[in-house]
Structures are given as structure tokens and as C-alpha cells.
Amino acid sequence: MSAGTPDFLSRAAEILGQENVVAADSAHAYRDPYPLHPEAASSAGVRPGSVEEVQQIVRLANGTATSLWTVSRGKNLGYGGAAPRTADQVVLDLSRMNSIQEVDGELGYAVIEPGVTFFDLFECIQERRLSLFVSVPALGWGSVLGNALDRGYGMSPYGDHVQQLCGLEVVLPNGELLRTGMWAMEDSPLGHVFKGGFGPNIDQLFTQSGLGVVVRAGIWLMPWPEAFASGEITVENQDDLPQLIDSIAELRRREVFQNNCLVGNVVRAGTMNGPRSRWYTGEGSIPDHVVEEMREAMGIGNWNARFALYGDPGMIRERIRIIEERFNRSGFTVRVRLYEGSDGGPVTYADIDEKDQTTMAGVPSLKALSTVSWYAEDGGHIDIAPLMPARGEEVYDFYQEVKDLYAEYGFDLYIGYHVYARHLVHVTMIFFENGNPEQLARARELYDKVRQAARRRGYSPYRGHINNMDDIAAEFSFNDHAVLRFQETLKDILDPAGVISPGKQGVWPKRLRTSR
């Protein structure tokens, strides 16, 4: 805890009420749910309920030289959760600001506060019977806005969430309020329909950022589709991965696939049907012959791709035809189930089998949480998610290197490739038992090895665990780290006291910066 913090917290309590100030030693203090270091500390926090309260808190932080760490819902599991970069930072917890301020069912957008979860937005739209579809990520309890700002993604055609932001309201580090894009024009109907404004576009400065606190934003929503299809592609041979990736990416570039296909390996499917002890109780990576048994037991391929299709049923049928032609030619099995409205109108959730009411169908869920209990009931995980070009041979080559590393460190290799038009996100997790020092030490080492292997190939993660942000930022080294120096220049001028999320993505304010 830094020197000014007690003063800050007592004065924050005057602004917010004592019930909205959380002490670092309280049961509700903020901590990494899956700490990689067993000794990880917990942090104090404040919970403003309005834009004005955020402004007051930010001004108070300036006056008391207090570091704040902004979280919306703090559900970045595998990246540190609600824990700040350093335990002495006070969490600026925006979860009480959870109002859905506007939903436009015609043009397709919502204006939301940071505390709004995917569940909240989904339920709001169902209740109001709006013809809109919510793009959701693996877990629905996170913040819609926080996910987009941290460049998280969902499983739908609108899954690149940061690209759906349109019009931000931001509390700047000096406490002033800013609106971006057309929203800066007073009484304009364009605030959430056009991403632009006039002059240098500043919106994206507030993504993965400590340059301000986003307190409201517009986010685009897809029209509810007339029909929906859920599909899977099964690949028997492990070494057919290159063809699978190349074909998926090409059909995504051709806009036959509409969402990011998700390609998983056998262990990934196993974690959905865990715990591990159901399949194997030995040490080390699960051996290939056991993987083969798991595969047979689950009736799946060595690679299993899931996708969904959305829109007019006639167009969906054409998409299915193209997909089947392409993958059958490679000897892969394609299964698709098309759902249409039962009464001649658009499809509804009542028409869709429960097993297909997945995140790809826009249904927020907590099902994926169970995977963390792979090794132990009290399990955790860390995510490693390097970006790669969507080129099949490159992906397969890296896969083999990563597989060897997991074997060397004795963990089971979970793979989920999220395949986009030009890149993919190579999501792998390391599962562990919380607080198991031997396992955590190995997990940390493996994490570093995979990161090094990725770095050698020029693959950087799309986001970072709080413990690793400085290392990742350092990889962007062109011209003596010109980009980080540029970000620091902005930090110094916009946040001279260095109060907003110091160290976020490796960008530290001057007072906390150490020489590189």
C-alpha cells in the first residue's frame, strides 16, 4: 500500500459511502483468482456508482497521488482477473455502473455502462423482444464494454468486439469528461452510427489503455437472423491441420464463414468432459494412446472445428453447400444442423436444440468454467494466446513445437484456434491446482517457454496477464521501442500524476518508470 492510500480510502468513503470502499484485507478485496505466485497479495478498491463519482475519485487520486486500476467486472480469468499490476494500486471497480441506457432495435446498437454483463444485455434484449443478437465470449459474466476495450472477442459475426465500439464517453486522467466520434457533437443522432468524428481519431487510444476511464459507450449489435445453423467439421488425422486452417481462413475471407471458427484438439474436448481423472491419472502429458482412447470415447476427430451460420435460410443453404464441397474434398466430415422459425417467421431460441444454444448462438453461459477443474476441484489456469497468421503450415509447425514443450513440462496440451480471415488466435491454457507450488512453478516455466517460442517466430499475444505485460510490451521493439515511447509520451501528457492504471499493457507513468 502506498503512502497516500489510507487518506485516499477515507476520503473516497466520504464520496461513495463506506459500503463502496473495500479494504485490502477484507474478504471482498481484489485478487487474481488463479495466482501464479502463491504469495500474491490482495488490493483495496472503490466502487463509484455514477460518472460524476468516477470524476470525483479520479480527481481525488490526483490530489493524493494514488494509483487506480480500472476494472469493469474484473472477470479476465487467466489474465489476472480484477487484480491490479501491483497490489498497492486501488481497484477502480465500475461494476455498479450497470445501466443499459439505450438500445436501438432498428439500426442495431446499444449504449451501455461498464458494469453491464453479457447476461444483462442478453436478458434486456430478450425481455424487450428486440430483433438483435448479442455477440458473447466464452463466459457471460464479464463486462461487454470491458471485453471490447481489452480487445477480447466473441463467437459471432460481430465477434471482433473492439470494432463494434462506436462513440465513447471517457473520464480523462484529469477528471474531465470527453466524448469521442460524432458523440462529441451535441444533440447529434450520429453518436453511435458512425465511427469517425473529425480530425485524428482518438477512440482506439482508450483500448488496452490507462489513458482514461471509459464510462459509457455505444456498441453495435447484429440484427437477429432469420435462421441459424450450427456446424462442425471433423478431421481424423492430426497432420491434416494445415489444410483445415487454410480452407477455413479462405472461406472466412470469402465471407462464406461468418464467424470465427473454433478448432479444438482432443484434450480441449476432454476438459469439457472432465475432470482429467476420468481419462488418465498418470503424470506428464496424457500419452498419445490415451488421447486416442479419449477420441474414440467422445466420437470426435483429432481436430474438431465448430462454426455457425446466420441469416436468410436460402443463403445459409448455399453456404452449407460450399462448406461441404470444400471439406469433403479433403476427406473431412461436415455436419450442419439448420434451424428455421417454426411458424414461418424468424428462428427463435425455442426452435433451437439445447445443445446448439451455444455462445455461437449468442447465448451467454458459464459452462466453460468447469474446464478449470481439470487437475483438481480447486483449479485455475493461465491463458497463452499468441496471434499467428492464418497459414496452415505455420500453425502446424508451431503446434508441434508447443506440443513438445507441454510434454517436457508435463502438462496436457489444450488447443483452441480461433480462426479469422487473416490471423488466428492460438489459445492454449495451462491448467493447474490453485496454490500447488510445484505445479505453479512448472506452469510459470512452461508459460515462459511457450512465450519465447512464439516470440522467436514473431507471434505476440493479443492481450497479457498482469504479470507479463512489461515483457510483452518489450517485444514491440522497432526503432528502440518507438511505439512504447510514443505511448509513454501520451501517458505523461494526459496523466502527469500517473494515476490511471499505471503499467497497463506495459505503459508506466514517468514516476513509476524504470529505465529499459
Give the catalytic positions in this structure.
Answer: 79, 462-463
299 binds its own copies (CB under 8 A): no
Q: Of 183, 303, 307, 432, which lies in the binding site for its own copies, with binding defined by CB under 8 A?
A: 183
Which pairs with CB-CB distance under 8 Å and at least 24 residues apart come from 502-505? 502/67, 502/69, 502/85, 502/86, 502/89, 502/210, 503/85, 503/86, 503/210, 503/469, 503/470, 504/69, 504/85, 504/208, 504/209, 504/210, 504/469, 505/208, 505/209, 505/210, 505/464, 505/469, 505/472, 505/473
C-alpha cell at 5: 492510500
Report, in Å, the least distance between residue 136 CB and its own copies: 19
512 binds its own copies (CB under 8 A): no
Cα dihedral 136→142→147→148 (10° resolution)? 60
Report, in Å, the least distance between residue 461 CB and its own copies: 8
Q: Of 6, 14, 369, 486, which lies in the binding site for its own copies, with binding defined by CB under 8 A?
A: 486
What is the widest separation between alpha-carbon atoms in the chain? 69
Binding-site size for its own copies (CB under 8 A) equals: 97
Q: Could you say which residues in the range 306-335 bind its own copies, by CB under 8 A?
A: 311-312, 314-315, 317-319, 321-322
422 binds its own copies (CB under 8 A): yes
Residue 434's alpha-carbon distances to 34, 267, 372, 374, in angstroms, are 6, 20, 10, 11
Q: Of 185, 272, 366, 369, which lies in the binding site for its own copies, with binding defined by CB under 8 A?
A: 185
Q: Considering only CA atoms, which of 455, 449, 409, 451 is closest in space to residue 432? A: 409
Q: Could you say which residues in the range 349-378 bind its own copies, by CB under 8 A?
A: none
Binding mask 148-177 for its own copies (x = CB under 8 A): ---x-----x-----x--------x---xx
- 14 by Cβ neighbours in 10 Å (0-12 / 13-18 / 19+) ranks as exposed
Q: Could you say which residues in the range 193-252 bind its own copies, by CB under 8 A?
A: 193-194, 196-211, 220, 222-223, 225, 249-250
**Which residues lie across from 216 on neighbouring strands?**
169
**Residue 86 identity:** T
Q: Of 389, 410, 435, 437, which lies in the binding site for its own copies, with binding defined by CB under 8 A?
A: 389
37 binds its own copies (CB under 8 A): no
Specify the stretch interacting with its own copies by CB under 8 A; choose among 42-50, 185-193, 233-241, 444-452: 185-193
Q: Of 46, 473, 497, 499, which lies in the binding site for its own copies, with binding defined by CB under 8 A?
A: 473
388 binds its own copies (CB under 8 A): yes
